[in-house]
C-alpha cells in the first residue's frame, strides 16, 4: 500500500531557464534553490478502474490532468508496470503565495509513484524522475539549499542538498500583488528566452554565479546571497525582454514592488527580491525585518497578500 508523499515547493536563487532537451527536461544551466517550509503538496496514488486526478478533493479534467497522466505513463513505461491510477493531491500552497506549485507537485508525484509500486530508489534517482515531470521538481526532493547540476545527460542531471539544515537567518516573503494566472507558462517562456542575444553570455556566467552563491552559503553571507539572487533574477527577466520576440512577466505592480525593495534598502532595511515566471515578487530578508517590510507592502499596495517562509525539508512519507 503506497504512502502519502509530501514535497515542499522551492524557490530558485540561481534560476533554471532554458532546456537543451525538452523531452528529458535537461537544463542548459545548473540552478540553486531553497526549499520552503510553508508550501507543500501531499500526494497519494492508488489503483483505479480509470485514471483519475483529484486536486484538493476536486477531480481535474483537461490540461493539468493530462500532464499528470502523461508523466505517470512515462514512469510506468520506464519501470515496465501498467494499470490505471487514482492520484489524490492536496496543495498546501496558499493561493496568496503567488508561487507556482509544479516543483512540489511533481516531486510528490514521483515519490508517490515509487511508493505505490514499492520501488525503493535512492534520492538521487528520485530527483532524476521528478526532473522529468517538471525541471524545478528535481530540487524539491531535498531540503535546505539545493543544487541541481545540469549534467550531461539523463543519468547525470539531478539535484542534491548543499546544506539540508542551514543556519542562515533567511526569510522569504511571497508577495502576491496580482492574482491573475501567468500569461506564458515556464515551459514556453524559457523556450522563447533562448532567442535573446544575451542568452549565451548569461549561460557563460552560470558557473561563476553558482560558485559565488555556494561561497555565500558556506560563509553564511546573507548580503552576498541576496545581491546575487537579485542579479540572477534581473538577468533572467532581461533575457525575456530581449528575446525575439520579446516578452515580460512584469506588470506595473512588479516594478512598484522592485522600487519599494530598493527604497527599503536605502533606508537601511536589508532586503532583496527574486521573481519567477509571473508578476509576483519574493522578498529575501532577515527575521527582524519581516514585520516592517510586511507593513510597508500592506500600506503601499491594495489587496496585497503576504506569506513568509523559511527553510523546508525534503520529501517525507506520511501515514
Ligand atoms: C522561473 O520547472 O516550471 O521557476 O521544466 O518546463 O516544467 P518545466 O519548468 P519549471 O520552470 C521553473 C522556472 C523558474 C526558475 C526555477 O525554478 O529554477
Nearest CA to ligand 1 atom 1: 276
CA distance linking residue 12 with residue 282, whole number of Å: 11
CA distances from 157 to 19, 107, 147 (A): 12, 15, 11
Q: How far, in Å, from the CA of 102 to the mean position of ligand 1?
A: 8
Q: Would you state the pLDDT for residue 100?
A: 66
Nearest CA to ligand 1 atom 4: 276
The number of CA neighbours under 13 Å toward the Cβ of 280 is 24
Residues with Cβ within 8 Å of residue 229, at least 6 apart in sequence: 13, 14, 213, 272, 274, 284
Ligand 1 in reach of 31 Cβ (< 6 A):
yes
Nearest CA to ligand 1 atom 5: 135
Residues 193-211 have pLDDT tens digits of 999 999 999 999 999 999 9
Report which ligand 1 atom has the smallest distance to the Cα of 10: 17
Q: Would you state the pLDDT for residue 115?
A: 98
**Cβ-contact 283, 293 below 8 angstroms:** yes
Read off the C-alpha cell for 205.
556566467
The number of CA neighbours under 13 Å toward the Cβ of 90 is 7
Q: How far, in Å, from the CA of 15 to the mean position of ligand 1?
A: 8
Judged on CB neighbours under 10 Å (0-12, 13-18, 19+), 78 is exposed
Ligand 1 in reach of 134 Cβ (< 6 A):
yes
Q: How far, in Å, from the CA of 189 to the mean position of ligand 1?
A: 9
Q: Which domains does the chain have, with CATH numbers?
A: 5-166 (3.30.230.10), 171-309 (3.30.70.890)
Q: Would you state the pLDDT for residue 235?
A: 98
Q: Would you state the pLDDT for residue 96?
A: 55
Q: How far, in Å, from the CA of 135 to the mean position of ligand 1?
A: 6
Q: Would you state the pLDDT for residue 64?
A: 81
Report which ligand 1 atom has the smallest distance to the Cα of 137: 2
Q: How far, in Å, from the CA of 266 to the mean position of ligand 1?
A: 31
CA distance linking residue 305 with residue 114, whole number of Å: 36
Q: Which run of H or of E encompasses 45?
A: strand 31-47
Ligand 1 in reach of 187 Cβ (< 6 A):
yes
CA distance linking residue 17 with residue 12, whole number of Å: 10
Instruction: Enter the pTM of the model.
Output: 0.97
Q: How far, in Å, from the CA of 196 to the mean position of ligand 1?
A: 18
Q: What is the pLDDT along the chain (319 residues), one digit of tens a residue?
A: 799 999 999 999 999 999 999 999 999 999 999 999 999 999 999 999 999 999 999 999 988 899 999 999 999 999 999 999 999 999 998 665 667 679 999 999 999 999 999 999 999 999 999 999 999 999 999 999 999 999 999 999 999 999 999 999 999 999 999 777 778 999 999 999 999 999 999 999 999 999 999 999 999 999 999 999 999 999 999 999 999 999 999 999 999 999 999 999 999 999 999 999 999 999 999 999 999 999 999 999 999 999 999 999 999 999 8
Ligand 1 in reach of 15 Cβ (< 6 A):
yes
Read off the C-alpha cell for 244.
525575439
Ligand 1 in reach of 314 Cβ (< 6 A):
no
Closest among 313, 31, 312 to 171, alpha carbons compared: 312
Q: Note the ipTM here.
A: 0.99
CA distance linking residue 164 with residue 178, whole number of Å: 32
Closest among 5, 1, 2, 3 to 314, alpha carbons compared: 5
Q: Would you state the pLDDT for residue 72?
A: 97
Nearest CA to ligand 1 atom 11: 186
Q: Is the backbone peptide bond immediately before 245 cis, with ω within 30 degrees of 0?
A: yes
DSSP state of 136: G
| CB-based burial, 250-260: b 16+ in 10 Å, e otherwise | bbebbeebbeb
Ligand 1 in reach of 186 Cβ (< 6 A):
yes
DSSP state of 140: G
Amino acid at each position: 500500500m503506497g504512502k502519502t508523499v509530501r514535497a515542499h515547493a522551492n524557490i530558485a536563487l540561481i534560476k533554471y531557464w532554458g532546456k537543451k532537451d525538452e523531452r528529458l527536461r535537461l537544463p542548459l544551466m545548473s540552478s540553486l534553490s531553497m526549499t520552503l517550509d510553508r508550501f507543500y503538496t501531499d500526494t497519494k496514488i492508488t489503483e483505479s478502474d480509470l485514471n483519475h486526478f483529484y486536486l484538493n478533493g476536486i477531480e481535474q479534467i483537461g490540461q493539468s490532468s493530462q500532464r499528470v497522466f502523461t508523466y505517470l505513463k512515462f514512469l510506468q513505461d520506464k519501470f515496465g508496470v501498467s494499470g490505471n491510477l487514482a492520484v489524490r493531491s492536496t496543495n498546501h500552497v496558499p493561493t496568496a503565495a503567488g508561487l507556482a506549485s509544479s516543483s512540489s507537485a511533481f516531486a510528490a508525484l514521483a515519490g508517490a509513484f515509487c511508493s505505490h509500486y514499492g520501488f525503493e530508489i535512492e534520492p538521487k534517482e528520485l530527483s532524476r524522475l521528478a526532473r522529468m515531470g517538471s525541471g524545478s521538481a528535481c530540487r524539491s526532493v531535498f531540503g535546505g539549499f539545493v543544487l541541481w547540476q545540469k549534467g550531461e545527460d539523463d543519468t547525470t542531471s539531478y539535484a542534491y542538498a548543499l546544506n539540508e539544515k542551514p543556519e542562515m537567518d533567511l526569510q522569504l516573503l511571497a508577495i502576491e500583488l496580482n492574482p491573475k494566472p501567468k500569461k506564458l507558462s515556464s515551459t514556453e517562456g524559457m523556450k522563447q528566452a533562448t532567442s535573446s542575444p544575451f542568452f549565451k553570455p548569461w549561460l557563460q556566467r552560470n558557473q561563476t554565479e553558482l560558485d559565488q552563491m555556494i561561497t555565500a552559503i558556506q560563509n553564511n553571507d546573507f548580503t552576498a546571497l541576496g545581491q546575487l539572487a537579485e542579479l540572477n533574477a534581473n538577468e533572467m527577466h532581461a533575457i525575456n525582454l530581449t528575446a525575439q520576440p520579446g516578452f515580460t512577466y512584469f506588470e506595473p505592480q512588479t516594478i512598484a514592488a522592485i522600487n519599494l525593495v530598493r527604497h527599503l534598502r536605502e533606508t537601511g532595511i536589508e532586503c532583496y527580491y527574486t521573481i519567477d515566471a509571473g508578476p509576483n515578487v519574493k522578498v529575501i530578508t532577515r527575521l527582524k525585518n519581516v514585520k516592517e517590510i510586511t507593513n510597508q507592502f500592506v500600506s503601499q499596495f491594495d489587496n496585497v497578500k503576504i506569506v513568509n517562509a523559511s527553510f523546508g525539508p525534503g520529501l517525507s512519507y506520511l501515514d
